[in-house]
């Protein structure tokens, strides 16, 4: 199915109703209230997280993620109970303060929200909390306090232009500030995110690649003289052993002396797959680039922290996998800024790479991304791991387009990547490849030309 097509409305409704019916049939958990009513893949994630919580009722990261699922399904009371419980277990887990404060604010419990934000700031001067406290102070007419919060927010994260915009709105003109449209920050309380993700992914993900559509990373030289013939004259191995794959890769490399490859993983993080993928990369001494969704980053901040800590790069794949082209440029820009701010909050490093969802892009999207000072990144080898269930087929598709300087595309919300990398990584290494992040690839290739 092409990216532009939607499922017929009646099918969307049937799928949604099916999801809801399954939820209603599911037994209630932890005595905190009903299971959150949300579409199906949120339900699977909910099942996975709640099973983890049964194994370890004191897992604060799971309590945090589950609370977000509840809040997005509109069940704020359940979310608040979970986050409060998590705070009694680990009062230093900073993400809880932001989520709890936003939920209390959404319920009109302003004084409680203020107390929660201040308690969080006493632990870590998080720019997110300063920003949200600033919004709250502004809402209740305390403009000086609000301005102070936005200033502190900018001190913590000078790239956070939403705060600069709010300061300007309050009449403070900032020198050297080019504030843009601002980031439409929303507390995690809306169901729209979940329902859109699932329905879009079901119909749209297939459009995320296309034969021959393999633009170079922005800034990469165009004359890398890579063998682009499918197969490079070599025959794919019949049995996908490490040795056979390495021999094939050797032929594809055509004697190139420098062999770099950038592994990229889209659509995560996922609570079960991403940690195993990170283990695999670590075991093979490989660095990769994760193009995450802002909404999923919000649910799994610890996984983003781990990615950054272990030397991986984290790029922006939009807030919730909506096509940037179809959103229109103003909305798409705000969407990317919101995702980038969330990602930077957890990785504590600049997020400068954007991969458009579905690979759906055009000259306007490219220009908008470049104007923000970011790089627009596509891929060379599409593993189709979201579509193919057979590991050998995934491997074959990847191998056919892998040559020095290639950007490889996988998805860390599907298990295929975990079956393929144990063969592919040692094969690449045996063939002399070095695993680099996308930014390193751009830098190194650029310096070669
Ligand atoms: Zn994607």
Residue 284 lies in a domain: yes
- CATH code of residue 351: 3.20.20.370
Are 17 and 123 in a shared domain?
yes
Element (H, E) at 363: helix 363-371
Nearest-angstrom CA–CA distance, 127 and 94: 11
406 upstream amide cis, omega within 30 of 0: no
Q: Tell me whether strands 375-376 and 381-382 are parallel, antiparallel or unpaired.
A: unpaired
Are 263 and 367 in a shared domain?
yes
pLDDT for residue 233? 58
pLDDT for residue 40? 56
Residue 277 lies in a domain: yes
Nearest-angstrom CA–CA distance, 323 and 409: 18
Are 398 and 297 in a shared domain?
yes
Are the beta carbons of 407 and 380 closer than 8 angstroms?
Answer: yes
Are 34 and 165 in a shared domain?
yes
Provide the residue-wise pLDDT of the chain in tens; the chain has 449 residues: 333 344 444 444 444 444 434 333 333 333 333 444 444 567 888 899 999 999 999 999 999 999 999 998 889 999 999 999 999 999 999 999 999 999 999 999 999 999 999 999 999 999 999 999 999 999 999 999 999 999 999 999 888 888 998 998 888 765 444 434 444 444 343 333 333 222 233 233 333 443 233 333 444 333 333 333 334 457 777 678 999 999 999 999 999 999 999 999 999 999 999 999 999 999 999 999 999 999 999 999 999 999 999 999 999 999 999 999 999 999 999 999 999 999 999 999 999 999 999 999 999 999 999 999 999 999 999 999 988 888 899 999 999 999 999 999 999 999 999 999 999 999 999 999 999 999 999 999 863 32
Ligand 1: centre distance to CA 353 (Å): 14
- Return left, alpha or beta for 31; rule: phi > 0 is left, psi -120 to 50 is alpha, else beta: left
Are 240 and 373 in a shared domain?
yes
CB atoms within 10 A of CB 443: 14
Are 22 and 150 in a shared domain?
yes
Are 262 and 165 in a shared domain?
no
Q: How many domains does the chain have?
A: 2
Nearest-angstrom CA–CA distance, 220 and 223: 9
411 is catalytic: yes
Question: How many residues would you count in the chain?
Answer: 449
List the structure tokens of 166: 């709010």
Ligand 1: centre distance to CA 84 (Å): 33
Residue 262 lies in a domain: yes
For the packed helices 329-347 and 127-139, what is the interaxial angle rounded to 10 degrees?
130
Ligand 1: centre distance to CA 179 (Å): 29
For 239-254, what is each residue's pLDDT tens digit?
A: 789 999 999 999 999 9
Ligand 1: centre distance to CA 219 (Å): 22
pLDDT for residue 215? 39
User: Across the strands, what pairs with 410?
Assistant: 265
Q: Which residue has the tokens 């309050």?
A: 170
Give me the catalytic one of 270, 321, 376, 411: 411
Are 158 and 259 in a shared domain?
no
Residue at a domain's end among 169, 193, 215: 169
**pTM for the full model?**
0.76
pLDDT for residue 119? 96
Residue 190 lies in a domain: no
Are the beta carbons of 68 and 99 closer than 8 angstroms?
Answer: yes
Ligand 1: centre distance to CA 355 (Å): 8
3-class SS at 293? coil
Are 22 and 163 in a shared domain?
yes
Q: Which residue has the tokens 């070599």?
A: 234
CB atoms within 10 A of CB 2: 11
Ligand 1: centre distance to CA 33 (Å): 33
- CATH code of residue 37: 1.25.40.10
Give me the catalytic one of 266, 267, 380, 412: 266
Are 297 and 432 in a shared domain?
yes
For the packed helices 95-106 and 60-72, what is the interaxial angle rounded to 10 degrees?
30
Residue 211 lies in a domain: no
User: Across the strands, what pairs with 375?
Assistant: 353
Are the beta carbons of 113 and 101 closer than 8 angstroms?
Answer: yes
Nearest-angstrom CA–CA distance, 148 and 137: 10
Ligand 1: centre distance to CA 78 (Å): 30
Residue 22 lies in a domain: yes
List the structure tokens of 93: 């887990």
Nearest-angstrom CA–CA distance, 162 and 169: 10
Residue at a domain's end among 147, 169, 191: 169
Range of the domain at 371: 236-448
Residue at a domain's end among 169, 201, 220: 169
Ligand 1: centre distance to CA 259 (Å): 27
For the packed helices 273-283 and 301-309, what is the interaxial angle rounded to 10 degrees?
10
List the structure tokens of 42: 């949120």
Residue 347 lies in a domain: yes
Identify each DSSP E strand in 225-312 by its residue range.
Answer: 260-266, 288-292
Residue 175 lies in a domain: no
Are 299 and 398 in a shared domain?
yes
Are 257 and 363 in a shared domain?
yes
Identify each DSSP E strand in 295-396 by its residue range.
Answer: 313-316, 353-354, 375-376, 381-382
Ligand 1: centre distance to CA 174 (Å): 37
pLDDT for residue 157? 87
Are the beta carbons of 397 and 369 closer than 8 angstroms?
Answer: no
């Amino acid at each position: 199915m092409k990216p532009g097509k939607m499922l017929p409305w009646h099918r969307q409704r049937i799928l949604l109703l099916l999801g809801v019916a399954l939820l209603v049939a599911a037994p209630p958990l932890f005595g905190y209230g009903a299971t959150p009513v949300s579409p199906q893949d949120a339900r699977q994630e909910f099942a996975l997280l709640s099973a983890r919580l049964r194994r370890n009722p004191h897992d604060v990261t799971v309590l945090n993620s589950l609370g977000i699922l509840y809040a997005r399904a509109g069940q704020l009371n359940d979310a608040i109970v979970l986050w409060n419980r998590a705070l009694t277990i680990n009062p230093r887990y900073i993400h809880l303060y932001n989520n709890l404060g936003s939920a209390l604010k959404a319920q009109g419990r302003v004084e409680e929200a203020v107390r929660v934000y201040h308690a969080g700031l006493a632990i870590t001067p998080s720019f997110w909390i300063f920003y949200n406290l600033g919004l709250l102070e502004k809402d209740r007419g305390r403009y000086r306090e609000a301005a102070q919060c936005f200033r502190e927010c900018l001190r913590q994260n000078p790239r956070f232009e939403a705060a600069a915009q709010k300061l300007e709105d309050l009449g403070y003109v900032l020198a050297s500030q080019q504030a843009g449209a601002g980031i439409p920050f929303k507390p995690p309380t809306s169901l729209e995110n979940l329902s859109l993700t699932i329905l879009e992914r079901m119909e749209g993900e297939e459009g995320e690649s296309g034969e021959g559509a393999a633009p170079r990373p922005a800034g990469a030289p165009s004359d890398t003289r890579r063998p682009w013939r499918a197969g490079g004259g070599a025959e794919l191995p019949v049995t996908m052993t490490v040795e056979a794959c390495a021999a094939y890769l050797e032929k594809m490399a055509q004697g190139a002396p420098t062999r770099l490859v950038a592994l990229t993983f889209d659509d995560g993080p996922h609570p079960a797959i991403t940690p195993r993928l990170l283990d695999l990369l670590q075991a093979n001494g490989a660095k990769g680039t994760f193009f995450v969704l802002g909404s999923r980053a919000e649910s799994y901040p610890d996984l983003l922290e781990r990615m950054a800590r272990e030397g991986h790069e984290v790029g922006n794949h939009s807030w919730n996998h909506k096509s940037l082209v179809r959103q229109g440029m103003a909305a798409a820009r705000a969407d990317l800024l919101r995702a980038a701010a969330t990602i930077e909050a957890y990785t504590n490093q600049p997020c400068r790479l954007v991969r458009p969802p579905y690979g759906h892009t055009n000259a306007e999207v490219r220009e908008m991304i470049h104007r923000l000072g970011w790089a627009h990144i596509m891929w060379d080898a599409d593993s189709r791991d979201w579509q193919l269930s057979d590991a050998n087929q995934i491997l074959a598709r990847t191998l056919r387009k892998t040559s020095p300087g290639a950007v490889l595309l996988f998805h860390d919300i599907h298990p295929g990547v975990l079956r393929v990398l144990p063969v592919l990584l040692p094969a690449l290494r045996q063939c002399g490849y070095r695993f680099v992040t996308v930014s390193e690839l751009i830098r190194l290739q650029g310096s070669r030309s």
